[in-house]
Amino acid sequence: EINDTLEVPEIHHSKKIMISYSFGMVVTEFIGTVIIMVLFIYYETEIGLSSLLTGLGLAIFAIWDAFNDTIVGYISDRPYRFTKKWGRRFPWIIGAFIPMLICFLLIFNPPKVDPQENPWIIFMWLVITTCLFDTFESMAFMNFFSLFPDKFRSDSERLKVAGFGAYFGFFGILLGMLIPPMIIVFGRSETYFLMAILVVVICLVFWVISIPGVRDDKEVVECFLAKCEETESSSVFKDLSNVLKQKNLRTYMFVYFLFFVLMSTMGASFFYYVRYVLKADASLIVLIMGLYFLGVLVATPLWLIYVKKRRDKKQVMILGGVIMVITAILITFVPNFEFLLIIVFIHGMGLGGFSLMINPVFGDIIDESVIQTEKRREGLLGGLRFFVTNLARVVQALILAFVHELTGFKEGSDTQPASAIFGIQLHIGLIPAIFLLIGLLTFWKLYDITPNKLEQNKLKLKQLGF
């Protein structure tokens, strides 16, 4: 019999389980990076949909994603008949994965119609397939990320998993940036569908490997069900209102939103930059991204050593972010290709520090939220994080659409006027850098979970039975 004093037992996970879970990061980052980098340029330059309609379609997709994530997060936080047997997160993670991949393939196989005569057919295909894809993606990935703070509860395990996850996540991003240019040929839209097939196959392999790591711990599920019996149910709006009272959560979401504006805008810009500024084949992106992630790989273990010694996650996020801001600005005004490669390498080093801290800092914020609300709401909070991620995609789509419209970008053309080329240089560096700089200043000023406060929060969690 479970009583009011039931506490979650301290569960120690093997490295195999930690690594298995981290393999899921390959999939989430891989498929997300492909969407960010390829989708806008595919529909605008290969299919021939106008910049404004492409931007509008992707904005609708991102807005749907934002609200869908919050709702899915709230729904998945609740107990169901299958929860005791199959777990709290595992059924959602596994059940939504295959439908998500099918929808991903459909995105890159639009109807063969003239985009000038029938633009709304292409537009509706873009909106419907991306929204279907997102619905299943939210069910799978939002629960995957929500599992992290619930499964790995000690600071030492979270840092270990974050270390593994950083490498696997960066590998996923690397695949997302390298696979498309290895397959895609500018001017041949069918190569994008071949790319999508290869992405699906790779995702299936890594997802199977991640299955042992994404299973819920039975003891944690039992404690969750016991707490649900003790706690009155509430509406999604009431829960949102309660969690948004947390200053550190609002601050984190703000800087995470602006970080993702930078990542998605720069990521989507590289194909434009190589095609129109460098006037090179897509394969050149392989070299650029290779150096980018070499910087990530070189710097990540150094950042990990630093944070274990100083125990100051906030400081690492800010330092990594400052490096990203400075190098992004330099990319806009880079004088030659050789200098670009150096800047990209250093930018990757900054990304290594910032990204390494994303999940551990979020875990600390969730712990603080549990103390304040006496409820575990990983799904809702994870959905909120996905919400701001997709709000960033709206901003990214609008940046590209309006910059291209204002600078005279010619859809479907192999050459661009000087004004359009300068616009590309702006949205690959200076514009996203300004966004992240605002986020870093806010995070530096308002975020206050210090190492000492973190230790106090751990003690309070134990006292509350969480």
Query: What does the pLDDT read at residue 466?
Result: 55
Query: What does the pLDDT read at residue 282?
Result: 80
Beta bridge pairs of residue 185: 188
At the second CATH level, the architecture of 15-221+231-464 is Up-down Bundle (1.20)
Query: What are the E-state strand segments in 130-251?
Result: none
Hey, is 170 helix, strand or coil?
helix
- Evaluated on CA atoms 166, 167, 173, 177, the torsion sign reads positive
Residue 432: how many CA atoms within 13 Å on its side-chain side? 34
Give this prediction's pTM. 0.73
Structure-token match 């190098």, residue found? 327
Query: What does the pLDDT read at residue 93?
Result: 87
Residue in 301, 326, 306 with CA at minimum distance from that of residue 316? 306
Query: What does the pLDDT read at residue 2?
Result: 36
Measured from the Cβ of residue 419, the count of other Cβ atoms closer than 10 Å reads 11
Query: What does the pLDDT read at residue 445?
Result: 94
Assess contact for 380 and 73: CB atoms under 8 A.
yes
Greatest CA separation for the chain: 74
Cα angle 158, 263, 159 (rounded to 5 degrees) comes to: 10
| Cα–Cα distance list, 173 to 30, 72, 176, 335, 426 (Å) | 5, 25, 5, 27, 23
Calpha distance 421→140 (Å, rounded): 38
Query: What does the pLDDT read at residue 129?
Result: 96
Calpha distance 255→34 (Å, rounded): 23
Where does residue 446 rank: exposed (0-12), middle (13-18), buried (19+ CB within 10 A)?
Answer: middle
**Contacting residues for 3 by C-beta, under 8 A, at least 6 apart:** none
Assess contact for 390 and 58: CB atoms under 8 A.
no
The one-letter code for the residue type at 65 is D
Q: Which two tokens stand for residue 213?
A: 């790591």
Cα angle 297, 305, 327 (rounded to 5 degrees) comes to: 45
Q: Which two tokens stand for residue 445?
A: 């000023």
Enter the DSSP assignment of 427. I
Distance of CA 79 to the CA centre of its chain: 26
Residue-by-residue pLDDT tens, the chain, 466 positions:
333 444 556 677 888 989 998 899 999 989 988 998 899 889 988 998 988 899 899 889 888 877 787 777 777 777 677 777 777 788 888 889 999 999 999 999 999 998 888 899 999 999 999 999 989 998 888 888 878 777 777 777 877 887 788 788 888 988 998 899 889 888 888 999 999 999 999 999 999 999 988 887 777 666 666 665 444 455 556 666 767 778 888 999 999 999 999 999 998 898 899 989 988 888 888 889 889 889 988 998 899 899 888 888 899 999 999 999 999 999 999 878 889 999 999 999 999 999 889 888 988 888 887 887 777 666 677 777 877 887 888 899 899 989 999 999 887 778 889 999 999 999 999 999 999 999 999 999 999 888 888 788 778 877 776 5
